[in-house]
Amino acid sequence: MFGNYTYLVWLIGCIGLPLLLLLGWRQQLWSQRRTLAWVLLGSLLGGWAWDALAVRFALWYYDPGRIVGVWFLGLPLEEWLWIIGTTLMFSGLTVILAERSKISHAGRPSDYIQKKMTD
Question: Is residue 64, in this structure, part of any structural domain at all?
Answer: yes
Q: Which domain holds residue 85?
A: 3-12+26-104
Number of domains in the chain: 1
Nearest to 89 by CA among 8, 27, 5, 29: 29
Structure confidence by residue, pLDDT tens digits, 103-119: 655 556 666 666 666 76
Structure confidence by residue, pLDDT tens digits, 71-99: 999 899 999 999 999 999 999 999 999 88
Question: Is residue 97, in this structure, part of any structural domain at all?
Answer: yes
CA distance readout (Å), 112 to 1, 91, 118: 50, 21, 10
CA angle, 33 then 98 then 39, to 5°: 40
pTM for this one?
Answer: 0.80
End-to-end Cα distance, the chain: 57
Question: Is residue 110, in this structure, part of any structural domain at all?
Answer: no
